[in-house]
A and B are shown apart, each in its own frame.
Chain A
Amino acid sequence: MKKLLVLLIAFVVILTGCKNTDDLTKVKVMLDYVPNTNHTGLYVAQDLGFFEDEGLEVEILNPGESGTEVAVDQNIAQFGVSYEENLSMAVDKGMNITSIAAVLQENTSGFVSRKESNVTKENLGDKTYCGWGTEIEENLVNYAAGKKVKQVVGSNGFMNGGDGCDFYWEYAAWSLVEAKMAGIDFNFIPITDYIDFYSPIIITNQKMLDEQPKVVKKFMKAVKKGYEYSSTNPEDSAEIFSKANPDYEKDFILESSKFIAPYYVDDKGEFGNQDKVVWTNFTSFLKENKMINEENVDKINNSYTNEYL
């Protein structure tokens, strides 16, 4: 009898389980990089069922070598995590993608170096930079240094070090927290000392905006809820992030979450808003420094929206 009951319950669970997923709209969101605390809101929305509440079944994908922007442009993933500079570059190349939210209200990235490398704003140009090798990144580093910097692609990152690199471009909430916990002395030059732009952002493609604006709205509603929750509950959301990504040290994730929590929202406690001034300033900057084609300026300026928040 007991066995039968268990079987029956299992059957019902499976049945309802199937039914639920059938009703849900399946979408994919591709990250910009390995999972990190910039993505906490997505994992929170996933774990606490915010996506399900909106009738969505969301799959979080790691980026492939081919890049997140093109995956979103080709609708392989309906949503993606990107950066304003990458989106600008991609739109400049002809992609039809749009930024629908800023993940962080302030750009917390910057040039980080070990103290012994003795990197300052003044001597950037004489040091070796190690990065991931996009055109626009190379140009921005050269701009910051005021001259062509020796740049290596394919380094092991700031924390691994020991690879002949002097400075790296990293997120404060990630590398700086990690360095502090490891007791490494470092110098940090915020990127906002040179120019401000949104990093990271959430993107989607024109096809989604044209054909399924409701899905975009629902997705963003859940994402917004996820990040706003992360902002007020950094401990809980660190726990949720660690559950989804058990490879990282839990203590580190907790510290990183506490650091980044205030940046998810603006002073009204709202997630995602993008300021027109930031967008257009950055586009003008890209144009002035010939990092994009002049005829694409308007297109890039129009490739963000707050409509779906």
Chain B
Amino acid sequence: MTKKVANIAFILFGFVLWELIVTILNVQPYIFPKPSDMLSEFFDNIDIIISNTLFTLTIAIIGLLFSIVIGLIIAIIINEVKVIRNAILNILQITQMVPIVAIAPLFAIWFGYGIMPKVTLVTFVCSFPIILNLSDSFINIDKDKLDDLTMLKTPLITKYIYLYIPNSAYVLFVSIKVAVTYAMISALFSEYMGSEKGLGLLLQKSLSSYNTSMVFLIIVIIIIITLLLNKVLDLIKNNVITWS
């Protein structure tokens, strides 16, 4: 408890110090805003901020869910068809080296400005750590247990539900945690490819309108949401993985 209080006090102290230094140095808000500038920006535009945040959050969460499902499916496929395992993993690794700045505008040309290309981009980024970790964990499965199931002629789906996935649950959660960190940022970035809503759009507008207070505010919002998503994930993890 005292640790928590100390934590909060420390953060508050940081903000006060920030406010004081910027005030004393008399820096213009378009160069470096004060926490108070950000607060008044927040309350002046609370409706815009909330609606744009919800839009970006929706993209992030849908993209995250897709990447979990797709990640699982691909991990299972390459675990079953071992010949293609290395080839697929190599290809996936290469896709992660493609600079998003280069393909994001093309996504807009291929898929338009709807929500679909944005979710695709988030899925593209977030499924990678899940596939990589899961397939690694699948291959290191307890061979004796697997042999037992194989001898009993257990159907494929049952093998995964009762052996592979429970065994890899911890790894799955760790990799989702990595994916969560990328989810908001890639959702934000996906709006750079052309958008009429969202925090990424608000960020672009604020940058080009010299509204630096809003830029800082958006950074803070992204951090807070990512922290919250992590907390939710921890809660789920602690309630789901009861066996290890």
Contact = CB atoms under 8 A, between A and B. Distances in A.
Contact of B208 (A94, A128, A132, A163): A132
A165 to B, nearest CB: 8
Nearest to B29: A94
A134 B194 contact: no
Contacts of A74: 31
Contacts of A151: 196
Interface string A123-165: 0000010101111101000000000001111111000101110
Interface in B179-211: 191-196, 201, 204-205, 207-211
Interface stretch (A64-72, A247-255, A300-308): A64-72
B68 to A, nearest CB: 28
A154 B117 CA distance: 14
B14 interface: no
Given A94-B28, A94-B29, A153-B201, A162 B207 contact: no
A95 B30 contact: yes
B201 A133 contact: yes
B109 A162 contact: yes
Contacts of A136: 209
Interface string B18-56: 000000000011110000000000000000000000000
B108 A156 contact: yes
Contacts of A95: 28, 30, 210
Contact of B205 (A67, A133, A155): A133
Contacts of B112: 163-164
Given A162-B109, A163-B194, A134 B209 contact: yes
A30 interface: no
Contacts of B208: 67, 132-134
Given A153-B201, A163-B194, A164-B113, A67 B108 contact: no
Given A67-B207, A130-B194, A133-B201, A94 B30 contact: yes
Interface string A158-183: 00101110000000000000000000
Contacts, number: 77
Interface centre among A90, A154, A155 (most CB of B within 10 A): A154
Given A134-B205, A136-B209, A150 B30 contact: no
Contacts of B194: 130, 152-156, 163
A93 interface: yes
A135 B109 CA distance: 25
A70 B207 CA distance: 11
Nearest to A92: B210
A100 interface: no
B160 to A, nearest CB: 41
A89 interface: yes
A153 B191 CA distance: 9
B204 A133 contact: yes
Contacts of A66: 207
19 contacts: A67-B207, A67-B208, A69-B210, A70-B31, A89-B209, A90-B210, A93-B211, A94-B30, A135-B211, A138-B205, A150-B196, A153-B196, A154-B193, A155-B108, A155-B194, A156-B108, A160-B109, A163-B109, A163-B113
Given A154-B194, A164-B113, 6 more contacts: A67-B208, A93-B30, A133-B209, A135-B209, A152-B195, A152-B196
